[in-house]
Structure 1
Amino acid sequence: MTADRQERETLKARLTARFRPFLAGDLEWAILSPPLLPNSLQAHLARLPETRALIDRVRNDPSPLLDTLLTMKRQNLGTYFEHLIFFWLENMPGVQVRGKNLQVREDKQTLGEMDVLFDYDGACWHWELAVKFYLNAGDRMDPWQWVGPMKRDTLGRKLDRLFSHQLTLPETPAGQACLSRLGIKEVTSSPMVKGMLFSAARQDSAYEPGTTPLPPSLSPQCLQSCWMTLHQFQADSSLPFTHFRILKKPRWISPIRDFDDLVRGDQTVASAALAHCFQGHAAPHLILLARQDADHFTEIRRLFVTPNDWP
């Protein structure tokens, strides 16, 4: 066996162990979960019976999707999400992918890249892909007050870059030249952004589902939950869970599975585990709460728990 082949087999074995049990669920979430930003074409493609058939095939045999994951250059959540979407589009009848992560350059300078270009139903489409999780730290209607767990990103910054730069790249001279080299005269650009928003838990009530006002540019059907400090989590009596799991990327998007490595414990046990996490990395942690009924686990909620002085 050559060194390159051996390296590829080693990588495939590592990816298989890491992703295989979750691949069908992750693919289903990437395609069918509510978008953060409206995208009518995405909804149309997701409703096609061929989409459900593809997810079912991956559930029976995830090997083709694993082969796609072998092409990932980075092992992060954003790249993982992109490759799930690439795999979906590449395996949909009537869809022809024309390019992925196409760099747009001008005078040896990279202006940006177009995430995916594909032909469908007589038109060429340009999608910008992203998966985002934001916690609200102030005015809920202000996109700049929705911040990423590491506080390096905000919803406002993402929307600004998305609509003023990424989605307009095909309209620039350099973008037009890039499209021309592929024989493409015109594209329709739109966002394909998934994720979840987390509102601050009220002091007198842990969570009020469906009552959070959102910036007008967001889809009202997007996934929502809450975040709370460790003190709030310890004091909350509305979370009747029997098991939990502190999630790490890319498990943030995975639906619960009965074979998940859930930890049995109440708020005391979960709080101690979270406090231990904060000792090594004082950033919010996403925790999944579940209840066991006989041999079946039901997800109650997933929420961010933060250090007491966050943000």
Structure 2
Amino acid sequence: MTETQPILLPGSSPITSNPFASLESPEIEPFERSVRLGFIYQDLCRQLFIQHPGYEIVAEEVQLQSGKTTIGAIDFLLRHEDAIEHWEVALKFYLLKGGQWYGPDSRDRLDKKLHRMLTHQLKMSETEAFAERFPDVQKVIPKLLMQGRLYLNPFEEERVPEQCCGYTLNPDSVNGYWCYQHQAHRIGEALYKLAKPDWLTGTDEPENMLNAFPDYSVHCQSESGHFWMVVPEHWPT
């Protein structure tokens, strides 16, 4: 994860590069309270920020309220080089189809997710609720870290977009493959299902061979180590 490049190339604020790339052999405790990727990833970032000499966690998972209504949450509030930064982090996996990047659950789409993070989640530190919660914080620098992987279907021709919502996609993150179930025989090697904690890094000991296709998307690692997402015929509808 420390070596993984973000899906979006840094350069335009608030998009940031991987802040953990300089960490050597960090010690990571497994997260066992949930199998949801978002919780696993956020806890991983928390552990890495704690071990990073350049960052101090001021607050995390801050629920902001207006009256009795929760208006949103902040992933991390960090102190870095005498500045306060508001970080939103996300681990996402998107498949290119018809010019759009869809998640395995096709209700999730990269452009929608990015727009939501830029226009809602990162704006939480500009709200009155934030100012009331942190009256001593006068200026906050927004940061967005979105890691993961982008997948192409090698059995279908499609132009790969270079941008999403005006931000440049990182070509190094386009290193996964996907296919429909009826195309899977063309892969030509065994596929092994990945547990969600292994979606980003894969595993050195694949053991759960994919022998039948369920009625949902399955994330796999091939015998040669490539990442494959096999989706049902009705995806992305």
TM-score greater than 0.5 by the shorter chain: yes
1:289 aligns with 2:197: no
Please name the residue that 1:261 is paired with.
207
Does the CA-based 8 Å contact 1:115-1:127 persist in structure 2? yes
1:38 aligns with 2:9: yes
Secondary structure in 2 matching 1:81 = helix
Please name the residue that 2:80 is paired with.
120
Please name the residue that 2:177 is paired with.
226
Does the CA-based 8 Å contact 2:194-2:208 persist in structure 1? no
- Say which structure, 1 or 2, has more relative contact order (CA 8 Å, 6+ apart): 2
Distance 2:154 2:4 in 1: 23
Gaps of 5+ in 1: 1-28, 140-144, 264-269, 292-298
Distance 2:230 2:35 in 1: 24
Secondary structure in 2 matching 1:245 = strand
Change (3 A) 1:122 1:221: farther
Letter aligned with residue 283 of structure 1: Y
Please name the residue that 1:150 is paired with.
105
Q: Tell me the TM-score normalised to structure 2 length.
A: 0.85
1:219-265, CA deviations, whole angstroms, 9 ceiling, x for partnerless residues? Answer: 323422231112222135xx4x4x531123122112331x34364xx
Moved over 6 A (4+): none
Secondary structure in 2 matching 1:277 = coil
Change (3 A) 1:309 1:113: closer
Equivalences for residues 35-74 of structure 1 within 5 A:
35-39=6-10, 43=17, 45-48=19-22, 51-52=23-24, 54-55=25-26, 58=27, 65-66=29-30, 69=31, 72=33, 74=34
Partner residue of 1:200 out of 149, 153, 158? 153
Please name the residue that 1:16 is paired with.
none
Partner residue of 2:229 out of 304, 308, 311? 304
Distance 2:104 2:94 in 1: 7
Partner residue of 2:61 out of 101, 118, 132? 101
Higher fraction of strand: 2
Q: CA deviation at 1:46?
A: 2.8
Distance 1:162 1:222 in 2: 22
Distance 1:309 1:95 in 2: 45
Does the CA-based 8 Å contact 2:102-2:110 persist in structure 1? yes
Distance 2:120 2:42 in 1: 19
Distance 2:217 2:98 in 1: 16
Letter aligned with residue 228 of structure 2: L
Distance 1:192 1:101 in 2: 15
Distance 1:231 1:122 in 2: 55
Distance 2:154 2:18 in 1: 35
Please name the residue that 2:162 is paired with.
214
Partner residue of 2:125 out of 146, 170, 193? 170
Q: CA deviation at 1:118?
A: 0.9
Partner residue of 2:37 out of 69, 74, 77? 77
Does the CA-based 8 Å contact 1:170-1:179 persist in structure 2? no
Root mean square deviation, CA, Å:
2.5
1:277 aligns with 2:218: no
Please name the residue that 2:116 is paired with.
161
1:186-221, CA deviations, whole angstroms, 9 ceiling, x for partnerless residues? Answer: 110111111111223334x7xx9xx72332424323
Structure with max Cα Rg? 1
Q: CA deviation at 1:39?
A: 4.3
Q: CA deviation at 1:95?
A: 1.8
Does the CA-based 8 Å contact 1:39-1:191 persist in structure 2? no
Does the CA-based 8 Å contact 1:101-1:113 persist in structure 2? yes
Higher fraction of helix: 1
